[in-house]
Amino acid sequence: MTSTAITGIGELVSCDGTGADRLGRRQDAAVVATDGVISWIGPTLAAPAADRRVDLEGRTVLPGFVDSHSHLIFAGDRSAEFEARMTGTPYDGGGIATTVDATRAADDETLRALLAGRMAELRAQGTTTVEIKSGYGLSVTEEARLLRIAAEFTDETTFLGAHVVPPEWRSDRDGYLALVTGDMLAAATPYARWIDVFCEPSSRHAFSGDEARCVLEAGLAAGLELRVHGNQLGPGPGVQLAVELRAASVDHCTFLSDADVDALVDGAHDTVATLLPGVEFSTRSPYPDGRRLIDAGAAIALATDCNPGTCYSSAMPFMIALAVREMRISPAEAVYAATAGAARALRRDDVGRIVVGARAHFAVLDAPSYVHLCYRPGVPLARALERTI
Ligand code: NIG
Ligand code: FE
């Protein structure tokens, strides 16, 4: 057994508090980790002896950020599409085919190296858990290949064969759905925990409510757990379908009716509304109303959606700053949503909070308070401490 005492924590934010903000803040704290698991939390002066000691000299410590929604495994570049969007071309999902071509053309080693680089980028900004979706392969062998490589980096892998209908299947949507729910699902299942679908009737590339239901029910029957892309580009059935099927998360939630909000409140025990403000930033779209969801009683999470089309940012601190500035939520609510809230969206209780028994996954801020995450936007204050434990 190897133990490490982390001392000199100016402000410890456990995200396991009983107060109104649930942050559980304490000053001058220490934490001991034994073999990667938190074994003691208390005042620095009372810290027990340990094999190693890391003195953080007054910095802030939070749970490592949990990025519960990303599309990190891909090749290629769509900066020209981004540039066109900034001068008025709307996003409709059509650019996904460009990334599919580039990804199919990349060999395993190239994809692995690209993904390893993005994982390092994430950790450098304080993220210690990440979910990774497939969805840029869109054939039986390519989807299985992406998930196999992603599973080398995370346990939270998601099969997204129902991302869009690829060009070669455009004249036979039903045939593509049969493939996704048949051979593709069978090939993906050994490497995936979750199944997801881009439910967006307003996009001809994505899937209707009935098609999404068919994909999710097939995934459930194959033993996968459910996540949904819903209500991103316009109103639609995604949110209510996700709640009805008890999906762990419905993501985007940008265009919500009162009935959608009511459903999220009723289903809050099972289904988290995951907000992805980097997408609205990068597509120049209206932001989801985080305040409305929190005030109504829905459970929310914050994640990056890091992907080459709608948000090529892996920075959870940036998402926190955007959420506070653009979605009318407080710094405390945003930090909670990016840690404990996002852990819930992955149905994980071993990450997202600093409690005895949880994994020793920490984000360290080179700042005296968590508020600096949004008070000093764009400044690289956060990093993951995981590798030192
Ligand atoms: O979550 N909406 C669908 N999928 C991604 C975008 C993928 C892409 O444009 O490459 C998203 O925004
Ligand atoms: Fe996404």
What is the domain-level CATH number for residue 373?
2.30.40.10
Pairwise CA distance, residues 233 & 216, whole Å: 20
Helix 140-150 × helix 96-105 angle, to 10°: 80
- Strand-strand pairing, 3-13 and 25-34: antiparallel
Q: Whose CA is nearest to atom 9 of ligand 1?
A: 309
Is there a single domain that holds both residue 59 and residue 70? no
Q: Phi, psi (5° rounding) for residue 155?
A: -85, -15
CB 191 within 8 A of CB 148: yes
- Strand-strand pairing, 300-302 and 272-275: parallel
- Give residue 80's identity as a one-letter amino acid code: A
Is there a single domain that holds both residue 289 and residue 366? no
Is there a single domain that holds both residue 81 and residue 92? yes
Q: Whose CA is nearest to atom 8 of ligand 1?
A: 309
Pairwise CA distance, residues 163 & 136, whole Å: 8
Distance (Å) from CA 196 to ligand 1 centroid: 12
- Chain centre distance of CA 190: 21
Q: Which ligand is nearest to the CA of 163?
A: 1
Report how many domains make up the chain: 2
Atom of ligand 1 nearest to the CA of 93: 9
Distance (Å) from CA 133 to ligand 1 centroid: 11
Q: How many CB atoms lie within 10 A of CB 217?
A: 14
Q: Phi, psi (5° rounding) for residue 235?
A: -65, 155
Distance (Å) from CA 106 to ligand 2 centroid: 21
Distance (Å) from CA 340 to ligand 1 centroid: 24
Q: Which ligand is nearest to the CA of 101?
A: 1
| Tokens 């057994």, located at residue | 1
The C-alpha torsion from 293 through 319 and 308 to 284, rounded to 10°, is 70
CB burial readout 325-362, b (16+ within 10 A) else e:
ebbebbbbbbbbbbbbbbbbbbebeebbbbbeebbbbb
CB 32 within 8 A of CB 6: yes
Is there a single domain that holds both residue 82 and residue 92? yes
Half-sphere exposure of 239 (CA within 13 A, CB side): 29
Pairwise CA distance, residues 152 & 196, whole Å: 20
Is there a single domain that holds both residue 79 and residue 96? yes
The C-alpha torsion from 175 through 176 and 182 to 183, rounded to 10°, is 110
Is there a single domain that holds both residue 11 and residue 122? no
- pLDDT confidence of residue 387: 54
Q: Which two tokens stand for residue 78?
A: 């769509």
Domain that holds residue 154: 65-345
Pairwise CA distance, residues 118 & 125, whole Å: 11
Is there a single domain that holds both residue 159 and residue 42? no
Query: Which CATH number goes with the domain that contains 185?
Result: 3.20.20.140
Is there a single domain that holds both residue 94 and residue 239? yes
Distance (Å) from CA 71 to ligand 2 centroid: 6
pLDDT tens for 276-326 read 999 999 999 999 999 999 999 999 999 999 999 999 999 999 999 999 999
Query: Which of 305, 313, 319 most suits a substitution to test ligand 1, by most atoms within 8 Å of the C-beta?
Result: 305
| Tokens 């990440």, located at residue | 130
Q: Whose CA is nearest to atom 2 of ligand 1?
A: 198
Query: Which of 71, 82, 275, 319 most suits a substitution to test ligand 1, by most atoms within 8 Å of the C-beta?
Result: 71
CB 342 within 8 A of CB 67: yes
Distance (Å) from CA 176 to ligand 1 centroid: 19
Is there a single domain that holds both residue 330 and residue 238? yes
Pocket of ligand 1 (CB under 6 A): 71, 93, 95-96, 99, 198, 229, 232, 279, 305, 307-310
CB 324 within 8 A of CB 330: yes
- pLDDT confidence of residue 87: 94
Is there a single domain that holds both residue 113 and residue 48? no
Atom of ligand 1 nearest to the CA of 164: 3
Q: Whose CA is nearest to atom 3 of ligand 1?
A: 198
Mean pLDDT by 10 residues, the chain (389 residues): 95 95 95 97 94 95 98 98 95 94 98 98 97 98 98 98 97 98 98 98 95 98 98 97 98 98 98 98 97 98 98 98 97 98 98 98 97 97 78
Q: Which two tokens stand for residue 342?
A: 């996002």
CB 198 within 8 A of CB 206: yes
Pairwise CA distance, residues 21 & 198, whole Å: 33
Is there a single domain that holds both residue 99 and residue 157? yes
Is there a single domain that holds both residue 17 and residue 166? no
